[in-house]
Amino acid sequence: MMAAPLSTTSELSTSLEDAIWSETLSTLKGRMPKGTFNSIMQGTQLLGLEDDTYIVQVATKHAKAWLDNRLKKVVERALSTVIGTTVKVDFRL
């Protein structure tokens, strides 16, 4: 199943998702070492919302494993700060 966009208008949802993820990345950049941020967060993208979970596309299997096992709570807190409510995330290739 594909993640639903955050809005019903495709162009609007893409720009909204991009803005939300850009702000989330800015928050994360200050919360992790530069090398980790560059290698793990590079190429990530917020795809949308699916069953009350925000779907984040990642670039590599290594990044997905790292995010799932070590940084999931950090990413959830950063995205929750941007969204304004507690959220869950799922990382996908």
Give me the pLDDT at residue 4, please. 55
Give CA–CA dist 8/33, Å, rounded. 36
CATH number at residue 44: 3.30.300.180
Asked if residue 1 belongs to a domain, the reply is no
Torsion sign, CA atoms 4, 83, 29, 37: negative
pLDDT at 12 over 50: no
Give CA–CA dist 53/66, Å, rounded. 19
Pairing of strands 45-50, 88-92: unpaired
Asked if residue 76 belongs to a domain, the reply is yes
Q: Residue 10 — very low, low, confident or very high, per pLDDT cuts 50/70/90?
A: very low
Count of the separate structural domains present in the chain = 1
Listing from the earlier edge strand, what are the strands of the sheet with 53-57? 45-50, 53-57, 88-92
Tell me the pLDDT tens digit for each residue of 46-83: 999 999 999 999 999 999 999 999 999 999 999 999 99
